[in-house]
Amino acid sequence: MIKLFFRYLFMWVMLVLVQVLLLNHIQISGFLNPYLYVLFILLLPFETPKYLLLIMGFITGLSIDAFSNTPGIHASATTFMAFLRPYVIGVTSTRDTPDINTPPRVSQMGLAWFFKYTVILVVAHHLCLFFIDAFSLNGFLFTLLRCILSSVFTIILVILSQFLIYKE
């Protein structure tokens, strides 16, 4: 249990550092903004209690907000994503899915399941993030385009990370 705690703590620290030091500086025409830090919420074990999921989502988003000088935008979007996660797992899971003790990774759950799971949660996160950031519907299509393009880029990074890091 302690080993698992330190593994997830290390993953959290690395994802926050990569996001803050590298990915926050990538903005292609204001449309592509990769947010790989959401991978932390995606990869938490299935049996993580809902209250702990919300707390970790809030703390993860708040840490990105602290470094990015964005007052609560990432915290609210990541908490929303953590709130939706149990429902998305319930909707995307079938009777064929493995035991609840398996982690939500491509190697354990399969690419098709992980892709659906990732797409739903990343798009929900990005919709919340970009529309809170815009805080109006004046540039609705611009904001929606930013959301779609950033979601695609983030999903590609998440799937690539599964094949590069978790080769199990």
pLDDT of residue 119: 96
Buried b (16+ CB within 10 A) or exposed e, 19-44: bbeebbeeeeeeeebbbbbbbbbbbb
Which residue, chain included where needed, has tokens 């990915």? 23
Looking at residue 103, what is its pLDDT?
77
Tokens 């978790």 identify what position?
A: 166
Nearest one of 42, 34, 15, 37 to 109, comparing CA atoms: 42
Nearest Cα to Cα of residue 127 among 64, 62, 58, 81: 81
Q: What is the pLDDT of residue 101?
A: 60
Q: What is the mean pLDDT of residues 85-98?
A: 79
Instruction: Give pTM, 2 decimals.
Output: 0.90
Q: What is the pLDDT of residue 123?
A: 97
Please report the pLDDT score of residue 138 as a whole number: 84
> Exposure string (b/e) for 74-93, b if CB count within 10 Å is 16 or more?
bbbbbbbbbebbeebbeebb
The mean pLDDT of 102-116, rounded to a whole number, is 85
pLDDT of residue 58: 97
Residue 1 reports pLDDT greater than 70: no
| Structure-model confidence comparison of residues 136 and 144, the more confident one | 144
Residue 15 binned pLDDT confidence (cut-offs 50, 70, 90): very high
The pLDDT of residue 31 is: 74
Distance CA 81, CA 114 (A): 15
Q: What is the pLDDT of residue 56?
A: 96
- Give pLDDT, residue 72: 92
At residue 124, the pLDDT reads 97
Give the DSSP per-residue string, 74-116.
HHHHHHHHHHHHHHHHHHH--TTS--TTS-SSHHHH-HHHHHH
Residue type, 105: R
Average pLDDT of the residues in 107-130:
92
- CA dist 91 and 108 (Å) reads 18
